[in-house]
Amino acid sequence: MCSVSAKEKTMDVAAEKKKAEIPSPDFPLEKKFASIDGYRIGYVESGKGDPVLFIHGNPTSSYLWRNILPQVAEDTGSRGIALDLLGFGESDKPDVVDYSIRLHADIIKGFIEQLDLKNLILVLHDWGGPLGAAYAVNHPENVRGIAFMETFLWPLVWKDFGNYAMAFKLFRSPLGHLLIQVMNVFVNNMISGAVLRKGNMTEEVMRHYRKPFPTIRSRRAVRAFLKLLPIEGKPLESDAFLEDIHQRIQNIKVPALWIKAVPGVVLSNDTEYHLYLLRGQLPQIIIKDFGPGLHYLQEENPEKIADFITEWMRQSKLDRKDRESVQPKNFRHAA
């Protein structure tokens, strides 16, 4: 009978620990659907209580929040909800539609009204940032807290893109059709490329991200979001949309949280000045240091994100459990 050496036991323990640290690829939440302006919009939810609405960006879906939403809902006594934007996840992908920024904003507004979501907390990433912030500045009476991560609330310039500038210029050019819709480069390469912990991006995880985009036509919304980015005044609609948010964001008086990674992508060493300018407009904002990470922080360490959101909600007395019985923990600002 063979005995197991101490070295082998140590290696087994280390392997199990490493395995446990990799976020689960499973998506156990039941997909539900709502009809918004004639479109079928998918969403998932967990828990009961005041709603916490999670809004994703490009080219992800509600799947992005699978390891965060249930934990936040349970720990704060809230109803966690994450929708699939039009053209993403299991939402409709119409063949003939202008995927405008206004259309996405109207779908979100209609979704909130259809589900009768009151006293919202918004958790926003990527394009979810400006889309959610637009709802907040237009409906401040229905929003009681906002958490941001790896997003933008201001018009952009090419310098903001750093080493990614050339790639995004190609994505917005006529070659974008070949790269984004035919070759599916943004899904196949950019998601995993914008995660620091490469081992987390297993084939099973990538299969979930690829699944909503099986055909060239199904990828139209992905390309549209890239063309909609408000860069140096173009396109005019997007630039005006972000400029309006930028000018009115100071009217948001509710608690706010920004989870910031290093080196990050949207906020890097060269562009983090945007965040400090935002702090001048939102002096109540709490900035939390996520640590090492690129863009899709939900795939880096979802538990840390969930903990940050939970503690911020407790500190700000936004969670049901805290309002009922628990005193908020000490939660310091960290730039």
* Residue 318 covered by a domain: yes
Kindly report the CATH number assigned to the domain that includes residue 266: 3.40.50.1820
Catalytic residue among 92, 150, 299, 322: 150
Task: Give yes or no: 126 in active site.
Answer: yes
42 vs 111: CA distance, rounded Å: 10
Catalytic residue among 56, 125, 295, 322: 295
* Residue 71 covered by a domain: yes
Q: What are phi and psi of 184, to 5 degrees?
A: 60, 40
| The pLDDT of residue 44 is above 60 | yes
What percent of the chain has a predicted confidence (pLDDT) above 70?
A: 90
Catalytic residue among 126, 160, 300, 319: 126
- Indicate the SS3 state at residue 79: strand
Number of domains the chain contains: 1
Task: Give yes or no: 150 in active site.
Answer: yes
* Residue 162 covered by a domain: no
* Residue 200 covered by a domain: no
36 vs 43: CA distance, rounded Å: 12
Mean pLDDT of 294-322: 93
* Residue 19 covered by a domain: no
For residue range 94-148, list pLDDT tens digits in order. Answer: 989 999 999 999 999 999 999 999 999 999 999 999 999 999 999 999 999 999 9
Q: What is the dihedral of CA 17, 74, 297, 21, to 10 degrees?
A: 0
- pTM summary value: 0.91
| The pLDDT of residue 324 is above 80 | no
For residue range 227-276, list pLDDT tens digits in order. Answer: 999 999 999 999 999 999 999 999 999 999 999 999 999 999 889 999 99
* Residue 207 covered by a domain: no
* Residue 292 covered by a domain: yes
Range of the structural domain that residue 143 is part of: 27-156+236-324
Task: Give yes or no: 272 in active site.
Answer: no
Enter the DSSP assignment of 50. S
Mean pLDDT of 280-288: 97
* Residue 178 covered by a domain: no
